[in-house]
Amino acid sequence: MHNIKEIRTDFDYFKNQLKSRNIDVDIDKIKELDETNRKYIQKKEALESEKKDISKSKDESLFKRSKEISKELETITNEQKQIKSELDKILSNIPNIPHKDVPIGDNENDNVEISKSGNIPSFDFKPKTHYELGEKLNMLDFDLATKTTGSRFVFVKDKLALLERALSNFMLDKHVLTNGYKEISPPLIASENTMYGTGQLPKFENDQFEIKFDENTDRKFLIPTAEVILTNIVKDKIVDLKQLPMRFVASTPCFRKEAGSYGKDTKGMIRQHQFYKVELVSIVEIDKCLDELERMTNCATGILDDLGLPYRKMILCSGDMGFSAEKTYDIEVWLPSENKYREISSCSSCSSFQATRMKTRYKNNNKETLHVGTLNGSGLAVGRTLIAVMENYQQSDGSIVIPEKLRPYMNNLEKISSN
């Protein structure tokens, strides 16, 4: 959410900054609503002030006037509220402004590679896809999931289930023990307001699974990522400067409708309605955002280094970034069966964009009240890491060697094979 006070200082500048995102803002409408809103506020405050004076004076001859004011106030307040909510509606649908470092571009083709790491494995046989491997091992079952649930779900069984759990535990341990994150086991359901805070609502309602509750309570949603619930830990708070930075990690299932991706990655478990992800969230002083982004990204790539998986680091172009981000690095892991890199982590700085929505502030040393900076990143997507391990560590006989760092998490199992 953008601060109207800042927009007001230079409307055209604001409009231009969003052009790189292919967003065309109706700036005249915003300007007009803002001015009308403030006019109403002024009228309102004048009347309120008069009313206040009357009640202080306790002068009975003025009581009649006071009643009139109350009536006037009612209509003015209603109009003011309506204007304000119209303005807020427009503002809440405008994405964050890209940082200067971000390359200008339209879509994923304009993302820029920053670095490559690890050795791409060579096979003296044709590498199989993860779903071929998994089905042959009898440890991935898509048909069964279709029967019990529907498309884009999967049963992970036996040693692959163990591998999935091991990955999650390994990542958590690393982030907690060496990267300084605090482990959280959060609710997997978020309220409407929480979803608004991180920017999933109102614009992306179609991607969310809404939960039906019996009572007429607030709307509730399954979290599409732990980012939602972890970031909102500090919602509506003025946090103590000494508590910053705050770093949280959680391993949770994530639920996404994947609306609009019909026909994309329909085979295998690349794109599912439900998947596990280890998520990193940082709450920092506003001027520490970009440093924290580098740190966080290194925490994510550190996992891939440990697992011996080849990857590359990309910076997303302005047109490909998420709604709340000012700057995003994607980490892409090598998938032999596709002979290309696929996203396994996305780390973003959201500057004060989410904090403004959540009303999360802190006081700096000058006693100014500022919105915090928020960051989130996958460390890593567990489902996709499972795929990457399977494909990169596959053997000609269809078995899968376990990366050494994971073995302690798997009863020292060295290899997954049939039977």
Residues that bind RNA (CB under 7 A): 3-5, 38, 41-42, 44-45, 48-49, 51-52, 54-56, 58, 63, 66-67, 70, 215-218, 238, 361, 363, 369
Nearest distance in Å: CB 77, RNA: 8
Give 27's Cβ-side CA count (13 Å radius).
15
Looking at beta carbons only, is 29 or 52 nearer to RNA? 52
Nearest distance in Å: CB 49, RNA: 4
Looking at beta carbons only, is 55 or 151 nearer to RNA? 55
Nearest distance in Å: CB 48, RNA: 4
Nearest distance in Å: CB 91, RNA: 12
Nearest distance in Å: CB 366, RNA: 11
Calpha distance 374→110 (Å, rounded): 25
24-32: long-range contacts (C-beta < 8 A, 24 or more apart)? Answer: 25/94, 26/90, 29/90, 30/4, 30/87, 30/90, 30/91
**Cα-Cα-Cα-Cα dihedral sign, residues 28, 34, 37, 43:** negative
Nearest distance in Å: CB 50, RNA: 8
Q: Are 318 and 98 in contact (CB under 8 A)?
A: yes
Secondary structure (DSSP) of 364-407: -TT--EEEPEEEEEEEEEHHHHHHHHHHHTB-TTS-EEPPGGGG
Looking at beta carbons only, is 19 or 363 nearer to RNA? 363
Looking at beta carbons only, is 130 or 361 nearer to RNA? 361
Looking at beta carbons only, is 41 or 286 nearer to RNA? 41
Nearest distance in Å: CB 34, RNA: 8
The H or E element containing residue 307 is: helix 289-307
Look up residue 99 and give its two tokens. Answer: 């940082």
Neighbours of 330 (CB within 10 A): 25
Secondary structure (DSSP) of 127-173: PPPHHHHHHHHT-EEHHHHHHHT-TT--EE-HHHHHHHHHHHHHHHH
Indicate the SS3 state at residue 30: helix
Residue with tokens 């969003």: 18
CA distances from residue 218 to 192, 215, 234, 342 in whole angstroms, order as listed? 7, 9, 20, 37
Looking at beta carbons only, is 6 or 28 nearer to RNA? 6
Calpha distance 393→130 (Å, rounded): 11
Terminal-to-terminal C-alpha distance of the chain: 54
Nearest distance in Å: CB 42, RNA: 5
Looking at beta carbons only, is 47 or 176 nearer to RNA? 47
Nearest distance in Å: CB 55, RNA: 4
Parallel, antiparallel or unpaired: strands 220-222 and 210-211: antiparallel
Looking at beta carbons only, is 81 or 415 nearer to RNA? 81
Looking at beta carbons only, is 46 or 144 nearer to RNA? 46
